[in-house]
Amino acid sequence: MFKNLSLRTFAIRTEMRESLRLATLGQFEAIDIEVDQVAEMCQKHSSSYIKGMFDSFDIRPTAWYLPFDISLPAPDFQQEIEHLKAFLPRAQEINALRVLALLPSGSDASPYKDFCCLLPQRISAIAGLLEQYGCRIGIEIPSQQYVKPYKHIYSFSLDQVVDLCKTAACINAGIVFDTFLWHREGSKIETLQKLNNGNIIYVKASDQDNNYVGRCLPGRTNTVNLPLVMKTLTDIKYDGPVTPVSEEPRMTCLPHEIAVILSGGYLSYIWKKFITQT
């Protein structure tokens, strides 16, 4: 496992070199990338230039979000798959091999059951393309904290998404394990114990802010048993990123440096606590 930074979670958007500097300040080992930013830099410079920039900071690129909605109508979905082919060689060249796909919270057009029937096909189509470039895809469950009033509201569980990936029959498809959602589902450690490194593509580490029942930085309230999660991830030999995530309004108001240092500090606190207990 390694400590990973997602600037997106703190609503930070800056140029690449500054992003890497911030990651270094927070003592992170890796950072998520933005597709449009990297594509533009590759066009202006090259993949080697970007890779050299990461190497100069001793930071590795980690994950990136699929740049389209997985629930698009069929013609639009196929068109986006074609567009994705242009970026994948760049992702492979800089070794950013984890791709995240956020499931929709609902739809005005498709009932939940219909979408669940379609989803394995969509996962299979994307994963099949990604596999050609050594990439893996992590399916992320929406938190449902702020859902617009769709005609059809979707609700997914961790177990259900694992089963959907198995139905898709893709060795490079798995889940985004979110400690906040795991806690909300009942904190059953068996849910995590039955998984393996192939089932988990990415980990979001959050605590629960009891003031407004949302995500806060890992270890801030100790409501979620994060040291136990870390130990279990080690036991199942998970070797991917662990990313601190917060929805606290204050985090997007802080200066960028303070927000990143604070998130890195809280994650390091959990890391040390886990290590001392093992």
Sequence-distant (≥ 6) Cβ neighbours of residue 173 within 8 angstroms? 123, 124, 127, 136, 137, 139, 165, 201
The domain in which residue 174 lies consists of 2-277
Query: Looking at residues 19-29, what average pLDDT do you find?
Result: 97
For 84, residues 6+ apart whose C-beta sits below 8 A from its C-beta are 66, 67, 68, 126, 129
Token pair for 17: 């070199």
The confidence score (pLDDT) of residue 109 equals 84
pLDDT at 67 over 90: yes
User: In this predicted structure, what is the pLDDT of residue 248?
Assistant: 87
pLDDT of 101 higher than 60 = yes
Mean pLDDT of 34-38: 92
Summary mean pLDDT of the chain: 91
Number of domains in the chain: 1
For 214-260, the pLDDT digits (tens) are: 889 999 999 999 999 999 999 999 999 999 999 888 888 899 999 99
Per-residue model confidence as pLDDT tens digits over 140-193: 998 766 567 788 888 888 889 998 888 888 899 999 999 999 998 888 899 899
Residue 189: strand, helix, or coil: helix
Q: Side-chain half-sphere of 46: how many Cα atoms within 13 Å?
A: 3
Query: Left if phi > 0, otherwise alpha if psi is -120 to 50, otherwise beta: which for 159?
Result: alpha
Instruction: Specify whether the CB–CB gap between 252 and 241 falls below 8 A.
Output: no
pLDDT above 60 (res 97): yes
Q: Which amino acid is at 184?
A: R
Query: For position 30, which CATH number holds?
Result: 3.20.20.150
49: tokens are: 């230039």
% of the chain exceeding 90 in pLDDT: 70
